[in-house]
A and B are shown apart, each in its own frame.
Chain A
Amino acid sequence: MIEGNAVQLGKDEEIQLSKEDTKLFERLASERKAKLAMGTTEDYLKMLDKMRELEKKGEIIIHHVEEEYKPVGVRTLSGREKKIPTVELWQHKSCGQCGHIPGYISALYWIMAELGIPFVDDTNQTSCTAWNYYGSGASNSVALSAVFLRNMHVAWEKNAYPLIHCGTSYGDYKECRYLVVMNEDIRRRVRSILNKIGRDIVIPEELVHYSEWLHVMRQRIAERKKLDLSDVKAAVHPACHTYKLMAEDYTYDENILGGTRPAPTSSIILALGAKLVDYSTWYDCCGFGFRHILTEREIARSFAYFRKIRPVVKETGADVLVTHDTGCVTTLDKSQIVALAHGYKETIPVISDSQLSALAMGAHPFKVCQLQWHLADWKPFLEKMGIDWQKAQGEYKEYLEMIKKGGKPSFIRSPERTLSPRSEGMHDIKIAG
């Protein structure tokens, strides 16, 4: 335990360290924690070296985070610096977000459009298919890796840097990248499949989750803030697949929670001027369970309510629970109604960090942030933010009537791109049957 520059070694034992030594101690503690995933931190860094070696041999192409992507450096749990691209982003959409909680994505696109960030929203994209794999076991390493690399090849062709929306896609892709780089047999089998569809192995230098993008853009977002969030108390649920699956590669910042927990999402809340509140079960998962949210729902919702929602509300009195993953928003939000029907009182709105940021920047709560798809009562939270939800709801009803009469929404579009695609068009499957 570190307090100031004192390190508590035992009950009556403590040593004083210089500021530099304290930092070193924290760093060592952090690295020690990092030695807990796919091999060790050392293995992980070796994988990155191997990736560069394969590039030199011409075996793979690395999609580098070049200067044209205007990267910002962050520190990861492994201690290395990771480059986060900030412009010209290829939006790797999430099946769960787009299907159930569309405001998650529209809010993110809206922020980018407001900040003048060019992006590509592609229809030549599949999900990672890993939700299905983790839930049902109906895939394998070669298929998952080929799906990953097919999507990454498309992004490379479009000359846009992949920004991964889903925590599970992000975690799965980190696993796949490790396997493809470190295992010759997997690499050979995947290459053979990709070649047959006219593609090759293109591996991103950095795998980047959108919450890391929000983290590095937080000051620019805060500068565009239109609402006062100083009365808003926000709790964070960090998504397991962002920071537990291949833990070494997610963003940590010694200025955010002392660098002991993932920085994204907490950092945007702080930048927006809201109060960040803590609760005892922050480490617990949301209860999603992949298979459970679809076919064993009583387990998912019991866990979500009793291990997350109740502790958050009882311990912190938070106005909103903010998270950064598909399944977490869905599970934590939708799992409240049955408990409420059974007489429990605790309830809290659950939204993504992109929705919170967009709301703070003045986005429409329903047309852009699509809060009508969320279940838990968001009205008190919106009131705390100073949003007239009744007026906004009236506007949305008119908008919906316009849509019902065949009107079209005003689509959020990317600002003009500065980079040109490397190539366009679909690839013919050379071998079929």
Chain B
Amino acid sequence: MLHKLNEDGWHYGGLPGLQWEAENARKAEGGIARQVVEELYNDVRFEEFYHACINCGNCTSKCPPFRLVDFEPRIVVQKVMHAKDEPELLYQMMDQYIWACFQCYSCWEVCPAHNNPGGLVAILKEIAVRHGLNSAKKALEPYSKILYKVMTTGTQITPDMHITIALFKDWGPHKAELAKNIRAERAGVPVETMAGVMDKSWKVDEGTMKELMFIEKEAGVFDSVEKTLKDVTDMVRDTAKEAGVE
């Protein structure tokens, strides 16, 4: 499968592939790797998001994370393009590499072939979560509370994040200042749907949350997240059950 790699770790037409990457790819479980490729190619968005790549690098030139970390949308599209022949390389990329994407879609706007690398990454992340891959577990774990909140209330950024300085402590003294009076500050917001609401972004009707959880359940979101974050999904299911959804 990886016969195209030469001794220096270069593969398919000059795209640099490091030796360790090739080694890691060889360790990948072939069955899952092929399944991931199949799911990617069968996603309804795939035809819209991938056309052909001429390796021009426009996407990378506009990519924000490329400036700071090891991530290139060009590499993503190249590996997607060759995924049927070399599924292990695509699969290996799902560990850490794709999680660096900012999802800003600068790459999509500048691609002369109309590819949408950010969109491809979004699909790959979704597949990683659905399969409960370790990369997804690592990425989602710090997210647990937010994930629970958004899945049950439909809002995720809430003023109670400012009760302590533990979250967002790099906001400096401003954060501590805000934390001191946060309840009064929030109660004083002159918008009725927001004033005093600490645990949601705004006041959300019970029935609205019920409809949301029903949508997620029916659309398979509970099932897909379960493999990655079982504890969170259990809590979400309990909340849904209490609301009369599960």
Chain A residues with CB under 8 Å of chain B are 35-40, 93-100, 102, 105-106, 109-110, 121-127, 129, 131-143, 146-147, 150, 171, 178-179, 183, 185-186, 189, 192-193, 196-197, 240-241, 243-245, 247, 283-285, 287-292, 294-295, 297, 299, 301-303, 307, 334, 337-338, 341, 367-368, 370, 372-373, 375, 399-400, 403-404, 408-413, 426-427, 429, 432-433
Q: Tell whether B150 is near chain A: CB-to-CB under 8 Å.
A: yes
Contact B109 A36 (CB under 8 A): yes
Contact B219 A143 (CB under 8 A): yes
Contact B195 A185 (CB under 8 A): no
Q: Tell whether B32 is near chain A: CB-to-CB under 8 Å.
A: no
Contact B208 A288 (CB under 8 A): no
Q: Tell whether B202 is near chain A: CB-to-CB under 8 Å.
A: yes
Q: Tell whether B235 is near chain A: CB-to-CB under 8 Å.
A: no
Contact B103 A411 (CB under 8 A): no
Contact B64 A307 (CB under 8 A): yes
Contacts of A244 in B (CB 8 A): 104-106, 108-109
Contact B126 A140 (CB under 8 A): yes
A35 to B112, CA, bound (A): 8
Q: Which of A37, A178, A288 contacts B102 (CB 8 A)?
A: A288
Contact A432 B109 (CB under 8 A): no
Q: A294-B146, A411-B190 are in contact. Are A36 and B64 (CB under 8 A)?
A: no
> Which residue of chain A has the shortest Cβ distance to B246 in the bound complex?
A433
A403 to B108, CA, bound (A): 48
Q: Mark B182-215, 1 if CB is under 8 A from A, else 0.
A: 0011111111111100000111110111111011
A302 to B102, CA, bound (A): 13
Contact A95 B155 (CB under 8 A): yes
Q: Tell whether B218 is near chain A: CB-to-CB under 8 Å.
A: yes
Q: A38-B48, A136-B125, A426-B205 are in contact. Are A197 and B146 (CB under 8 A)?
A: no
CB distance from A290 to the nearest CB of B (A): 5
> Which residue of chain A has the shortest Cβ distance to B103 in the bound complex?
A134
Contact B140 A197 (CB under 8 A): no
Contact A126 B154 (CB under 8 A): yes
Interface size grouping (class) on chain B:
35 or more
CB distance from A106 to the nearest CB of B (A): 5
Contact A106 B225 (CB under 8 A): no
Q: Which of B155, B190, B228 has the most CB of A within 10 A?
A: B190
Contact B64 A287 (CB under 8 A): yes
Contacts of B103 in A (CB 8 A): 134-135, 289-290
Contact B189 A400 (CB under 8 A): no
> Which residue of chain B has the shortest Cβ distance to A409 in the bound complex?
B190
CB distance from A298 to the nearest CB of B (A): 8
A409 to B172, CA, bound (A): 29
Contact A301 B170 (CB under 8 A): yes
Contact A429 B210 (CB under 8 A): yes
Contact A37 B64 (CB under 8 A): no
9 contacts between A and B (CB under 8 A): A102-B191, A127-B150, A129-B156, A139-B126, A240-B106, A299-B100, A337-B171, A400-B188, A412-B191
A100 to B215, CA, bound (A): 27
Contact A136 B129 (CB under 8 A): yes
Q: Which of B147, B150, B219 contacts A146 (CB 8 A)?
A: B219
Contact A93 B189 (CB under 8 A): no
CB distance from B39 to the nearest CB of A (A): 11
Contact A410 B140 (CB under 8 A): no
Q: Which of B64, B128, B194, B220 contacts A98 (CB 8 A)?
A: B194
Q: Which of A136, A142, A375 contacts B147 (CB 8 A)?
A: A136
The stretch among B4-12, B15-23, B85-93, B157-165 that forms the contact with chain A is B157-165
Q: A138-B224, A307-B64 are in contact. Are A337 and B147 (CB under 8 A)?
A: no
Q: For window 136-176 of chain B, which residues contact chain A by CB distance below 8 Å?
A: 136, 139-140, 142-143, 146-147, 150-151, 153-159, 161, 168, 170-172, 174
Contact A132 B146 (CB under 8 A): yes
Q: Tell whether B44 is near chain A: CB-to-CB under 8 Å.
A: yes
Contact A299 B69 (CB under 8 A): yes
Contact B65 A404 (CB under 8 A): no
Contact B214 A432 (CB under 8 A): yes
Q: Tell whether B221 is near chain A: CB-to-CB under 8 Å.
A: yes
